Structure 1
């Protein structure tokens, strides 16, 4: 399996994250996708990779957004032949000890989402306003898209190879965290088995959050556009059923 970890200015947190992932899942490989971080994150990743064959580094020419970084990383992992591909943040917010639980859930699911907002999930050291923003954003996605997923904006996930191949990665235009919503809605609309497992999300210890107003505006715009498009379904297309349990979800698609 391969864990894709995009980085930009994560020099302080990256060594700890890599060490934790490889300790939690020793058989895993990790792909660091660095957007030419000015703080030398990419060079540091190269030095770590030189001493551990499980670590790989993909260098991108500049900061071009989270979505494109993940798309490029996913394609690299698929081309390399990995049967399971996971994704997580480099800043320590996603706990490596939760990764085995996500991987185990793939036994009965195609896509597994680490969720802060299902029973058993939680956040730690977050200001109240940030929690309200995340809960509100996810509720907006549920209502606007009819997407019965508790945490569609989270970035801690695992995919079966066939599931990732079935997604239209070329159509993903989201630059920021809206990428997570885009992939979740594609998985649901294609009838994949989407499961959520609870995780503990901790606030980062190093560096600064990449969240900003532009990223929020992108999400609002794209979710609104997808919602409007869903009002004009193709003939025979199945619609999601609102209010279904977010623990294991599968949209029924006509044969």
Structure 2
């Protein structure tokens, strides 16, 4: 078993890394119990890479966010995901507390990501609940979990960026529409009546490997850019 702080992984965005393995257990509604036998099951999702291409894979329990993740328990160092379509193991109760913050990660031992050959092809379960646990998350793991507010599990970084960009555009349009035209000949512009809306956390998708952690490089820069876009759009509309 790997200790909670043994492996911390930060990977770049890989759009094709999540295809191939559709995890049917665990899911958002199927949980595991520490110290009790459990089965991980999956199926072909008929998208590339196929299970046969994914091949031998390392399977582990992880926690974290879409940008940084920590391996908590190695389940199998080498499993052929194409046959059979299940893996039996016993979750180690000491790897963390009772929480809905765990997910299974598959890492191909041979196949590389189609968009970045420096990283392996990856697939994930949905975030799921572990009960009967006796451990705690260390400060590093808890910090990664807390980071889901800006790098959400269950929603891609790209989707979050698109949501924020759309919000910025809608805010600018609504602000401009609600601006009272200044009287003819006046150099002043009346104050706007609309207010900028806040972008909420990306909604988590239902349980499948299509709704899993996404890896994003320099996520802090991305969100700073989004915030700057929103602020600029609002201020620009206000000065019209």
> What's the TM-score, normalizing by structure 1?
0.29
The structure carrying a bigger strand percent of its residues is 2
Bigger-Rg structure (1/2) = 2
The structure carrying a bigger helix percent of its residues is 1
